[in-house]
Amino acid sequence: MAFYKEQYDMSAANDEISTTVNSSNDILNRHSHEDSKAPSAASGVQLYRFGTVTFGLVALVQLGLITFLALRIQASQKNLTEVKEQLIRAIYNTEANYTNVREKKDDLKRALNDFSFQLNSLTEERDKLKIVNYEMETRSKNLTEERDELQGKLNNLDTEARSRIISLERDKLRKRLTTLAQSGWTLFRGSAYYISSTTKTWQESRIYCLSADADLMIINSKEEQDFANSFQIYMWIGLTDLRTEGTWEWVDGSPLTTSYWGTTEPNGKTEENCGDIKTFTTERSWNDENCSHSLKWICEMKLTQ
C-alpha cells in the first residue's frame, strides 16, 4: 500500500512540473507576440529578463521537485524497510508456527503409535482371556460331568455302605445274641456282664472281652459298684494307669471320677498298674495289682448306646 502511494505521489509531481513548464511556455509565447510590436532592442532586453526569471522559476520548481522526490524516496525506503521487517517477522512467525505444528504432529504421531501399541496389547490380552475363558468353561463342564459321575458313584457307595452297615449291625447283633445265649452272662441296667470261671492276666482278660464284642467292666455309680461286689469274686475290672503313671482311667479312655479304692489304695506305684476288686466285703473294694497276675475277670457288653 505504501509503495503504490509513492508511485501516485511521483506521478502527481511530474504532472505538476509539466503544468509549470507549459505555463512558462505560454507566458513566453504571449510576451513574444506582444513584444514583436515593440522595437527590437527593447524587445530583446525584455525577452532576456523574462527568460532569466522564467529559468529561475523553473530551476526553483525543479529543485523543489527534486527535494520532494528525495523525501518521498526516503519515506518509501523507510516504508519498504518496515515492510521488509514485517515480512521477516511474518516469515519467522510462520516458521515458528510450522515448527510448532510439526512438533504437534510428531506428538500426535507418537500418541497414535502408543495408542496402537496399547490397542494391540489389549487385543492380545482379550484373545488370551477368550482362550482362558474357553478353557475355564470346558474345565467347568468337565468338572460338572465328573461331579455328576462322582455323585452317582457316591450314591451307589452310600447305598452299598448303608447295606454293608446294616449287614455289619445285623452280624454284630447275631454275634451278641449268640454270645448272650452262652452261660455266664447276666443282664443289669442296659448292659450284659460275664463272670469268668478261669484266670488270666489283665491284658489277656481284656482280649477275651473284646473278642466277645465287650470290654472289662467300667464302674461309674454306686449301683454298679454294689452289683460288682455282689459276685464276691477277686477279679479284674477295666481300670489302669498304664498310659500315664498315677493317672487312672477306664478302658474306653474316660477319666476316673468316682472311685471306690480300698484303704491306702492305690499304693503299688509303677509296679501295680491295673485295677481289680479284692476286698469285696466292703463297698470300697478296689485294689491296684501287678498286671501280669492271673485273676478272674468281669466283661461288660453295653446293649444301649
Q: What is the pLDDT of residues 252-278, one digit of tens each?
A: 999 999 999 999 999 988 999 999 999
Q: Is residue 123 part of a domain?
A: no
Q: Is residue 203 part of a domain?
A: yes
Statement: residue 66 has pLDDT above 90: no
* E strand or H helix at 240: strand 235-240
Q: Is residue 14 part of a domain?
A: no
The residue-averaged pLDDT of 234-259 equals: 95
Q: Is residue 146 part of a domain?
A: no
The residue-averaged pLDDT of 177-194 equals: 87
CATH code for the domain in which residue 243 is found: 3.10.100.10
Place 21 in a pLDDT band, splitting at 50, 70 and 90. Answer: very low
Q: Is residue 233 part of a domain?
A: yes
Which pTM value belongs to this model? Answer: 0.47
Q: Is residue 140 part of a domain?
A: no
* DSSP string covering 127-177: HHHHHHHHHHHHHHHHHHHHHHHHHHHHHHHHHHHHHHHHHHHHHHHHHHH
Q: Is residue 173 part of a domain?
A: no
How many Å apart are CA 244 and CA 255, to the nearest integer?
Answer: 12
Provide the pLDDT for residue 14. Answer: 54
Provide the pLDDT for residue 127. Answer: 87
**Tally of domains within the chain:** 1
Q: What is the pLDDT of residues 211-228, one digit of tens each?
A: 999 999 999 999 999 999
Please name the residue that has the C-alpha cell 452280624.
Answer: 171
Domain range for 257: 185-302
The residue-averaged pLDDT of 218-240 equals: 96
Please state the length of the chain: 305
Q: Is residue 254 part of a domain?
A: yes
Angle subtended at Cα 42 by Cα 37 and Cα 48, rounded to the nearest 5 degrees: 105
Statement: residue 28 has pLDDT above 50: no
Place 3 in a pLDDT band, splitting at 50, 70 and 90. Answer: very low
Q: Which of 27-31, 194-198, 219-223 has the lowest mean pLDDT?
A: 27-31
